[in-house]
Amino acid sequence: MNRFPLNAFPQDLKEVILDLREETQAPEPLIASSVLSALSLALQDKLDIQVTTSIQSPVSLFFLVIANSGERKTSVDRRVLAPIYEHDRISAQNYEVLMAKYSAEHKIWKAKEKAILASIEKKAKKGLATELEDAQYLAHSKLCPKLPKNEKRIYNNVTPEALQLNMFLHQSNIGLIADEGANILDRKVMNDLSFLNSIWDGHSFQVERKTMQSFQIENGRITLSVMVQQAIFEEYLKKQGIKAKGSGFFARCLPVLIDEQLSTQGSRFIRDYSNNHHTYIELFHQKICSYLKASSQEHRECVAFDPQAELEWKGIYNDIEEQLRRGGDYENIRDTASKMANNIARLSALLSYFERGTAPIDKVSVGQAKDICLWYMEQANNLFGALEWNEEVKLLDWLDYFYRRENCNSIRKNDIRKYGPNSLRRGKRLDVVLQRLEREGCIDIEQCERQSLWVCQGPTFFNNSYTKKQWFRN
């Protein structure tokens, strides 16, 4: 696996990551994912990116960080997102004050409404004219106090229904942020994949309700940053993995697994901090605060590539597209790869704005975003590639079990259809799976007595692209 591309980050952001690495001693990819999610959350209601002449895209990013207990997920999350958590704390206090005022004003308004309606009813019963009261009622209706908005940005322990209603009534630019992702996974927010996918794409989302009025979320933006333990994520994959991949949700994500190669556990010794410790993280926090204060604009600024950057991005797009072919580097993750050029455009916009504001995105920023995103795509290949071949993995597991139990290295194909994985016992699916495994060298198919077919261990039975995804096996 390639090393994490820390040097691809703009110098100021690189120093932020180094500051946090020195302070928390957490893995660099975990820190970087948190830093980029903070940038995405703070800027997603300020910016859009003009990817091509016909495509305008949000800059929101989705991150999945799979890291076991002890990797200091919570410490990093709280430190990086501190100004946004503080923003939410102050917003909650202000909202409480505004709600108290609203409640009082609404009671007064209702009392006056009741009096006007009573007067109308009294005159109507007597057959008297009510033109004056009618005019009063119409004028009064326009004075109904407006429900105050809660500017809360970060959600974790929330249901899809509550989140959608809050995005409609209050702040439509939010972050689903969880340093213990079980909150989000258990609340089933990540099961409503059409909602998450639509918002990532920048589309409106219609919410149909049986017990209340339906509504539509316009110009909504979501930054997703889920840090979750491996066992919990595996459980989610068992229930929703194929659906999440098939719907394109995983394709939109920038994932990382903090495995033994990336973990810093065992090397986090107590050391004296350098004299300039905290300098860059504090400057980063100041910028995040300034973005939040200026983020109430109704219209987003749309940043675009300069001519050289546009050529660079198109070249990256074409290079990725070429590798989607059969036998290409991204054959197993075509869905993820097809979205990666868009993620590169989004990230280049964030990096460029952090460095130079609304100036056109230059070639350097595109190159930086490419190096970072391609590292995440390698992670996606390792993590999600197996999901496309879920049945191949299942069959290899079953064959391994059968060969060991029977102390042999071959089995009749018909016996696989009788006793093998349930999903392969009917139809032509078994033939397709066997063809893929044979092409990879995992198995050899031999024709023996009476024309029967036998499935034998192949030269790569224990070392192939399927068995490398061990932790995805059922």
What pLDDT tens digit does each residue of the chain (474 aa) get? 568 999 999 999 999 999 999 888 888 999 999 999 999 999 999 999 999 999 999 999 999 998 877 778 888 999 999 999 999 999 999 999 999 999 999 999 999 999 999 999 999 999 999 999 999 999 999 999 999 999 999 998 888 889 999 999 999 999 999 876 656 676 677 778 899 999 999 999 999 887 788 999 999 999 999 988 888 887 787 777 777 777 888 899 999 988 767 765 555 556 665 555 568 999 999 999 999 988 655 588 999 999 999 999 999 999 999 988 866 778 778 888 999 999 999 999 999 999 999 999 999 999 999 999 999 998 888 777 655 566 788 889 899 989 999 999 999 999 999 998 876 777 677 887 898 899 889 999 998 777 789 999 999 998 887 765 544 444
Token pair in block for residue 351: 């990096």
- For domain 390-472, say whether CATH 3.90.660.10 is its number: no
Which amino acid appears at position 292 of this protein? Answer: L
Which residues, listed in sequence order, are joined to residue 47 by a DSSP beta bridge?
A: 301
- Chain region(s) in the chain for CATH 1.10.10.580: 390-472
What is the spatial distance between Cα 443 and Cα 446, in angstroms, rounded to a whole number?
Answer: 10
pTM score, whole prediction: 0.80
What is the spatial distance between Cα 166 and Cα 151, in angstroms, rounded to a whole number?
Answer: 10
> Domain 6-89+150-388 - what CATH class?
alpha beta
The single residue listed with the structure tokens 């102390």 is 407
- Chain region(s) in the chain for CATH 3.40.50: 6-89+150-388
Residue 171 sits at φ, ψ, to 5 deg, of -100, 120
Taking the chain, what is the end-to-end CA distance rounded to the nearest angstrom? 24
DSSP state of 302: E
